[in-house]
Amino acid sequence: MMFGSKAPEFVVLQAQRSDVDRIAALHGENFARGWSGHEIETMLDRPEATVLVIRRVGAPNEPICGFNIYQQSLEEAEILSIAVDTEYRRLGFADRLVRFAISALQGDRVKALFLEVDAKNHAAIGLYDRLGFRKVGERPAYYQGGDEGEAANALVMRLTLD
């Protein structure tokens, strides 16, 4: 870093249609069964769903660095999918995406936020633990096609928001 320059800033925003292909690409890079652009567009059109992205401030044409897709129903919400580009991991982007959602959901008076996470994804589980999520269940063999084709269990986690 040159003297006097500062690190670029990043911001969490609502996804735009122009983000769909990048979200689908990130989803495919991070999950055994990636979502298509059409599936992402469907999420953008659903009133109960929110699609957030994180991107560099002042760089609307640069690819997004990560996304968080969640939905809410009355007093509960669920994170459906969240991922960060490998180049931007360990910079707190997933934390920012989840905290942004939590804040919005609290404003909507949602009482609980749920998610499912691969029981082997220790980094994500650590993040969710730090944010106050607690394990409330487990889904055996929920994730198909993981390491060496083995199915992985999902932990069901809950965060109380009220």
Is 116 part of the annotated catalytic residue set?
Answer: yes
Give the residue carrying structure tokens 């009220």: 162
pLDDT band at residue 1 under the 50/70/90 scheme: very low
Q: CA-CA distance, 15 to 35, in Å (whole number)?
A: 15
- For every residue of 121-136, which 3-state class applies, written as one string? CHHHHHHHHHHCCEEE
Sign of the CA dihedral with 132 first, then 134, 139, and 144 last: positive
CA 30 to chain centroid, in Å, comes to 11
pLDDT tens sequence across 59-118: 888 899 999 999 999 899 999 999 999 999 989 999 999 999 999 999 999 999 999 999
Active-site residue among 9, 76, 128, 142?
A: 128
Domains for the chain: give ranges and CATH numbers.
Answer: 10-160 (3.40.630.30)
